[in-house]
Structures are given as C-alpha cells and as structure tokens.
Structure 1
C-alpha cells in the first residue's frame, strides 16, 4: 500500500472524507473527517493542507500529494 503524509495512504484520507459535498473549504474537510470518526493522525494530515477551495476529491489529493512531497524534503 502506498504511504503518504504521516505514513497514511491517500485511500485512508478519502475514506474519512466520504460524503463530502464539493466545492469545499479546508474547514469543511476537517468537519467531514471528524463526522466520519477520523483519528487525530488523519486530522493532522488534513489540517496541513492549504487554505483553498477544493472543487473535487482530485483537488484534495493533489494538495495531499504536494504536502507529502514537501514533507519528504
């Protein structure tokens, strides 16, 4: 399984965002993850994402990938 930021797979992040309506702000992502019982580790990953409007899950995963790359440097 591919690992990302904090050792979490992108699939784990998307699982905790299941049911979110787009467009969404970062605060919306955090609230949905909390509603889906995400652990603190997943919340920290989402909280590390930029404060932008996300048009779809692909936008979230792009930001996640960029945060993952920055974390590896």
Structure 2
C-alpha cells in the first residue's frame, strides 16, 4: 500500500486509533471501496500512528492491499 493511498483519506484521525475509527474517517474523507476494503482486512488492534498502520498494512498479503499498491505505483 502506498502511504498516499492512506494519508489522503485518514485526515483528522487522532492516534492511537482502532480499526473502526480508521474506517469511519476514511469514509468521511471520501475513500473508495478499495481503501475501505483494505482497512477492513487490518487486524483488530489499536494503531499508535499512521506509520504503524502503513507498516502493518504493507505486510498483509490480502488482495485489497495488493490492488492499492498496484494502483498507486508501489
């Protein structure tokens, strides 16, 4: 997943944040289904920062994360 794909849609998130809060903010900020689906595949944990979120998301092998990496040139 490229950082841009997440940073563009997670404005206003106060960290630490749990997955439902991340999804809520992404929806409010107009994220597409690909980004929402990718966020839904994240483990149900509390994320301390966007950097931690990106690191964990990038390690996932789910189709949604691969599609986001591909679409954003990563």
Shift of 1:22: 0.5
Of structures 1 and 2, the one scoring higher in RCO (CA 8 A, sep 6+) is 2
Q: When the two structures are superposed, what TM-score results if normalisation uses the length of structure 2? A: 0.76
Residue by residue over 1:19-59, the C-alpha shift from the partner in whole angstroms, topping out at 9 and shown as x without a partner, is: 21001000000000001011111100111111110011111
Contact 2:9 2:30 in 1 (8 A): yes
Q: Does 1:45 align with 2:38?
A: yes
Matched length: 63
Structure 2 unaligned blocks of 5 or more: 64-74
Structure 1 unaligned blocks of 5 or more: none
Q: When the two structures are superposed, what TM-score results if normalisation uses the length of structure 1? A: 0.77
Runs (4 or more) in structure 1 with deviation over 6 Å come to none
Q: Does 1:57 align with 2:50?
A: yes
